[in-house]
Amino acid sequence: MGQEKKINPLDVAMKQVDIAAERLKLDPGIVEKIRHTQRELTVHFPAKMDDGSIKIFTGYRVQHNMVRGPAKGGIRYHPDVDLDEVKALAMWMTWKTSVANIPFGGAKGGVQCNPKKMSLRELENMTRRFVYEIAMFIGPDQDIPAPDVYTNPQVMAWIMDTYSILKGYSVPGVVTGKPLELGGSLGRHEATGKGVFITAQEAAKHLKIPLKGARVVVQGCGNVGGISAQYFEKAGAKVIAISDSKEGIYNPKGLNTSSVLECKTKYYCLLAPGTKHGDKITNEELLELDCDILVPAALENQITLKNAAQIKAKMIVEGANGPTTPEADDIIYDRGIFIVPDILANAGGVTVSYFEWVQNLQELLWSEEEISERLTRILKKSFGEVLHLSQKEKVGMRTAALMLGIGRVAEATRLRGIYP
Ligand code: NAD
């Protein structure tokens, strides 16, 4: 067992395609097509900073596949964003929309920046100029961005506004995850975290683990981690640990997630002076805690060769994209730990993004109940299909999800044919 060096998410994504394609016995030409991203746009663009200086940023928009519909995927603001990461994330979006069976392809975008060190005005300047640079590439029929790490409804509002100004009329369908006031959908903000909870609930049912009293560990406390933690707590589970990029907090009796998240919002840290929700713990220790459900909901490559043998959870529900490497996957599978893979577990976000886009195009509004009911139905169906395939093919849930997602894209490609 070799030691993993710096893990490139694109190598991980490619390896996953190869595993699924081999089992599906796909035409090598089609495999070659889906191993490649269709279009990649890299832009270097200026933005004005508060001190009057001009800074050059590098951003990307990658469209992996549009065979089943317009490309769809979030925009990430993070110092480590690079082209390979965005390509991998775009590829995962293609499989995810396919697993959920919604009529989209896959895309992703990102800007290399440190949003924690930027003012709101600087973020707005950077976002608007980035949108200007990629405007010819995106659009409601072409490619529809959404939030991802360190982007939020406000950023989506700037995207919608800039694109609309360039077009000369309002185009709410160009982006999802918008504020409600601008054509955002009810239920979009909580959709990914809720989806993590729904798929975990299905997995717990399958494994006969009662959710009431189950010990849950969540890495990351942003949109996905924070919201899923609250759903678990509401269902009677005990969230025993949660973290942010700096540290984690652990309480074997269960945390009050609302007050932990309130502390994070108020003081920008989980353990502010004078608060005592639990004990400090590192992100590495958190992943290895004895628990029933582990939810990695931060970044890629968290469960690797280094720690896979030490994971004690009964199931892992991947809120983040690509948190487990293929080598770690094999260990996790051999150890009998049940995985709800990212392209299924976090598909709730893109599913409600699809609802938002449909509402924008049709200029109508759905109720929260309608959205919740449709989301639950789609995710339960997808979970059932992946589980069925995993049992039929005697493979893990990740391979089954990839087989389902990639199989649908391959079939759509075959039906459309290769032009000319
Ligand atoms: P977010 O910006 O709302 O939150 C990110 C969280 O990760 C924060 O709590 C941050 O403190 C934590 N974090 C950052 N670096 C970390 C590190 N090195 N170690 C531990 N924690 C760290 O982002 P999000 O939208 O919640 O996205 C989290 C993950 O979920 C990403 O992998 C993203 O691609 C995936 N995802 C998000 C959505 C969505 O709708 N937002 C949908 C599908 C998948």
pLDDT tens digits in sequence order for the chain, 420 residues long: 344 568 999 999 999 999 999 999 999 999 999 999 999 999 999 999 999 999 999 999 999 999 999 999 999 999 999 999 999 999 999 999 999 999 999 999 999 999 999 999 999 999 999 999 999 999 999 999 999 999 999 999 999 999 999 999 999 999 999 999 999 999 999 999 999 999 999 999 999 999 999 999 999 999 999 999 999 999 999 999 999 999 999 999 999 999 999 999 988 889 877 778 899 999 999 999 999 999 999 999 999 999 999 999 999 999 999 999 999 999 999 999 999 999 999 999 999 999 999 999 999 999 999 999 999 999 999 999 999 999 999 999 999 999 999 999 999 999 999 999
SS (H, E, C) the chain: CCCCCCCCHHHHHHHHHHHHHHHHCCCHHHHHHHHCCCEEEEEEEEEECCCCCEEEEEEEEEEEECCCCCEEEEEEEECCCCHHHHHHHHHHHHHHHHHCCCCCCEEEEEEECCHHHCCHHHHHHHHHHHHHHHCCCCECCCEEEEECCCCCHHHHHHHHHHHHHHHCCCCHHHCCCCCHHHCCCCCHHHHHHHHHHHHHHHHHHHHCCCCCCCEEEEECCCHHHHHHHHHHHHCCCEEEEEECCCCEEECCCCCCHHHHHHHHHHHCCCCCCCCCCCEEECHHHHHCCCCCEEEECCCCCCECCCCHHHCCCCEEECCCCCCECHHHHHHHHHCCCEEECHHHHCHHHHHHHHHHHHHHHHCCCCCHHHHHHHHHHHHHHHHHHHHHHHHHHCCCHHHHHHHHHHHHHHHHHHHHCCCC
pLDDT score of 271: 84
Report which ligand 1 atom has the smallest distance to the Cα of 323: 32
pLDDT score of 277: 86
- Is the distance from the beta carbon of residue 228 to the nearest atom of ligand 1 less than 6 Å? no
Pick the residue whose CA is nearest to atom 28 on ligand 1: 298
Cα end-to-end span (Å), the chain: 46
- Is the distance from the beta carbon of residue 16 to the nearest atom of ligand 1 less than 6 Å? no
Question: What is the 152 CA–ligand 1 centroid distance (Å)?
Answer: 11
Q: What is the CA 168 to chain-centroid distance, rounded?
A: 32
Question: What is the 14 CA–ligand 1 centroid distance (Å)?
Answer: 22
User: Which residue in the list 72, 87, 96, 108 is annotated as catalytic?
Assistant: 108
How do strand 54-65 and strand 71-78 relate by DSSP bridges? unpaired
Question: What is the 224 CA–ligand 1 centroid distance (Å)?
Answer: 6
- Is the distance from the beta carbon of residue 260 to the nearest atom of ligand 1 less than 6 Å? no
CA pair distance 22, 367, nearest whole angstrom: 43
Pick the residue whose CA is nearest to atom 8 on ligand 1: 222
CA pair distance 311, 93, nearest whole angstrom: 27
Let me know: does 217 contact 289? Beta carbons within 8 Å: yes
pLDDT score of 276: 83
Q: What is the CA 158 to chain-centroid distance, rounded?
A: 21
Q: Please say if 108 is a catalytic residue.
A: yes
Question: What is the 52 CA–ligand 1 centroid distance (Å)?
Answer: 31
Choose one of 299, 303, 307, 351 to mutate for the ligand 1 pocket test, by most ligand atoms within 8 angstroms of C-beta.
Answer: 299
| Residues forming beta bridges with residue 215, ordered by sequence position | 238
Q: What angle do CA 197, 201, 204 make, to 5 degrees?
A: 135
- Is the distance from the beta carbon of residue 127 to the nearest atom of ligand 1 less than 6 Å? no
